[in-house]
Amino acid sequence: MASSRGRPPRQLPTSGYVALNPLERIEEEELPLYKPENYYPVVIGQVFASRYQVVSKLGYGTSSTVWLCRDLQEQTYHTLKVCARGQSSNQEIAISEHLKQCSDTIGKNMLRLVLDSFEVAGQHGTHTCLIYQPLGMSFAEFQNLLPDRKYPKDLVQRSIQLTLIALAFMHEINRESRLTITDISPNNILQGMEDTSVLSKMEEDEVERPIARKVLDDRTIYYSRPMPLCTGPPVVSDLGEARIGTKKHNGDIMPGIYRAPEVILEMDWDNKVDVWSIGNMAWDLAEGHHLFFAKENGTLNDEQHLAEMVSLMGPPPPEFLRRSKKCEKFWDRRGNWKGSISIPEQSFESRELQFSGEDKVLFLNFLRRIFRWLPDERPSAEELAYDDFLMQPMVQSRD
């Protein structure tokens, strides 16, 4: 029931929707490792923590379902993430609480922090619930709406520059609180939302035209409503794999094809892995496909990945090779490749097809600043934010 300090929950329709075939797999059911007992059976209209009423489904993933909810106390909207059973969010909650103590309001506004958290008991166990500010679609979702999945040049520049500004805040908060995100990709950068009236429209749409769903004995599987296009500045989300501190870290991180060479080769790493991810993301947005294929017979393959890096960056310097015994498997002491997979015949110039003339020169110079074997040779996020390619629109406006 609703909190005594808030308004009563709204009665949302329980009929009038399109009933889907119970045998048809939809939404999270289509995930390869889907197990229904791992997902909490959220119902539209349900109130969580005596405060947050679910009004629409926004999406799903391997670790959660995501819902739009109305705060009955504040009469505002939030995003509710209901984690799958066994999924821990302690790291993300801890990092969010840590960042809330920082004084940089602008920087914090470019991060999706956990605003509230609680647990809910399901039939098969306990589920963690996280409350966030409402945001628009991800860069990846927006990319899928574009012709050939390619961002226009000015949008690439604006999106990457603003993301770098957010990264610079996290990398330089203070000496002991520096964050490395480790999971920068188009899936985890969301459009900021400046006009929240679209959310009330989504709620009214659910009242007037209830979303199609599949009703089973123990749960209802809803179709997700697409988020509208938003034009606010990008917001970095999913801080669950972030690391705090200035010391070097270790361990396998980053989405597979985004992994930096120091991660693949089991070296210690720092926040320059985020800069490497920015280069991959810039390429993805501009070109409409990944820079690295990194697969053999459809499976992620480290040797293939490293061979492609050599083709684009040249051989690694001796200083880099000395940092990991694993390098001996792929190079001799002089940096000559000895892997079983041939070095592809390619270059940044031959691969880059979106730009021409000065635009192409600036873009490739931007990429070459990032794609360096030695992390120390990559610019910081703050330095990269002022790169000539990203500053081009501002320079041209002054001419």
In Å, what is the CA distance from 152 to each residue of 282, 358, 365, 392?
11, 16, 18, 14
H or E stretch at 232: strand 232-236
Q: Helix axis angle, 357-370 relative to 388-398, nearest 10°?
A: 140
The whole-angstrom separation of Cα 324 and Cα 258 is 20
Residue 214 in contact with residue 24, Cβ under 8 Å?
yes
CB < 8 Å & 24+ apart, contacts of 260-268: 260/375, 261/306, 261/309, 261/316, 261/320, 261/373, 262/323, 262/324, 262/375, 264/302, 264/305, 264/306, 265/306, 265/323, 265/324, 265/326, 265/327, 266/324, 266/326, 267/323, 267/324, 268/323
User: How many CB atoms are located within 10 Å of the residue 159 CB?
Assistant: 22
Extract the runs of DSSP E, i.e. beta strands, from 258-333.
295-296, 299-300
Degrees (nearest 5) of the Cα angle 229, 233, 236? 100
- Set 183, 284, 302, 387: catalytic member: 183
Measured distance CA(311)–CA(347) in Å, rounded: 7
End-to-end CA gap in the chain:
61
- Closest by CA position to 271, among listed 185, 366, 179: 179
Q: What angle do CA 160, 381, 384 make, to 5 degrees?
A: 70
Burial 189-221 (b: 16+ CB within 10 A, else e): bbbbbeeeeebeebbeebeeebbebbeeeebeb
Phi-psi region of 265 (alpha: psi -120 to 50; beta: other; left: phi over 0): alpha
Torsion region of 21: left, alpha or beta (phi above 0 gives left; psi -120 to 50 gives alpha): beta
Instruction: Tell me whether residue 217 is one of the annotated catalytic residues.
Output: no
Residues assigned a catalytic role? 183
